[in-house]
Amino acid sequence: MTTSSYLYRGRRGVGGRGPFIYAEYEDGHVICPGRASALKAFVRQAHGGLQHKLKNAHSSNSEDALTWSCFDALRYVDQRHRKVALTQVWELAFGDRAIPAGVENGEIEIGRVYGTTKEGTEVDVSIEGPGVLVFFEAKLYSSMSQSDYPRKPHNQIARKLRVGAREAVRRGVDFYFIVLDLAPIDKLRNLNPRAGLAAAQEAKTSGFGSKWLTAYWFVRYKYGWKGSLTPLRRILADAPAIDGISATQLGRNMGWLTWADVFKAVLRAVLANQSR
């Protein structure tokens, strides 16, 4: 990466209290050479009939802008350096488990919609490769969304797990799910360390203080409750096409990353790509 097709020109938006609002959405994104039109299509895409990305694209708090900036940079660097970065990310998310070849050689998708009209979801980042499907749920300052029965019978993590597992079964591949957030699980959980199931079910997701919910539900699904994976089995039980999927394997395939982890991997890849 030797030149940039878009340079931040210092145009000022609205400052003061709250997030900075850029005058132009491009100023809030890192745009690799030749990727301006792809970014335009990304921020203008609609989901559920609404262009929610375009609405938030000018904000310095935009999760989508940060997600695009990091993962489109990985799409831009050559495959050799992308493999190195993805291997580092995988180790940070899953410890000493070897990265599947399908992840190393897979295609990175940003903002793709999976599932059906009955139960679908837009995935922040996904990797599709031979024998594997990976979903990344990227969070910045917001928490996961809660269930809202009957319109949304499952919370955001449960919905991603259900849709991803069903899609993986349909394709005959392994499914992995990674949460990408500001801080490690224990740091976010300690925002409300004594909260139990009832508090988690009734909590409202507003403000930074509710970020403990993402960590709470992730841990509950991945590790279960009192040695049992019943919480994970329960959210899969009524999902068409994935009855009988191994909750043990799915729990094992759940990982957690921080933005600091991803930043370093991406920066190494970009610098290495520059010097080629």
Quick one: which of 219, 195, 201, 66 has its CA closest to 140? 66
Distance CA 272, CA 81 (A): 7
Q: In this structure, how many other beta carbons lie within 10 angstroms of the beta carbon of residue 218? A: 22
Residue-level pLDDT at 241:
63
Residue-level pLDDT at 4:
46
Phi-psi region of 38 (alpha: psi -120 to 50; beta: other; left: phi over 0): alpha
Quick one: which of 65, 142, 134 has its CA closest to 102? 134
CA atoms within 13 A on the CB side of 220: 20
Q: Confirm if 157 and 218 have CB atoms less than 8 A apart.
A: yes
Residue-level pLDDT at 159:
95
Q: How far is CA 145 from the centre of its chain?
A: 13
- Cα→Cα distances 206→72, 189, 201, 257, 261, Å: 29, 16, 14, 22, 26
Residue-level pLDDT at 244:
58
The strand pairing partners of 204, in sequence order, are: none
Backbone angles phi, psi at 115, to 5 degrees: 100, -160
Q: How far is CA 189 from the centre of its chain?
A: 19
Q: Which two tokens stand for residue 111?
A: 């903002």
- CB contact burial 115-130 (16+ within 10 A = b; e otherwise): beeebebbbbbbbbbe
Ordered per-residue pLDDT tens for the chain, 276 residues: 444 445 555 556 666 677 888 888 999 999 999 999 999 999 998 777 778 888 899 999 999 999 999 999 999 999 999 999 999 999 999 999 999 999 999 999 999 999 988 899 999 999 999 999 999 999 999 999 998 877 788 999 999 999 999 999 999 999 999 999 999 999 999 999 999 999 999 998 778 889 999 999 999 999 999 889 999 999 988 766 676 578 999 999 999 999 999 999 999 999 999 876
Q: In this structure, how many other beta carbons lie within 10 angstroms of the beta carbon of residue 38? A: 14
Quick one: which of 60, 217, 61, 219 has its CA closest to 140? 61
Alpha helices of 203-246 — where are they, by DSSP H? 212-223, 230-237
* pTM: predicted TM-score of the whole model, two decimal places: 0.92
Q: Which two tokens stand for residue 22?
A: 């850029």
- Cα→Cα distances 246→16, 102, 240, 251, Å: 50, 21, 15, 9
CA atoms within 13 A on the CB side of 267: 6
Domain boundaries, the chain: 97-265
Q: To which residue do tokens 């990982």 refer?
A: 255
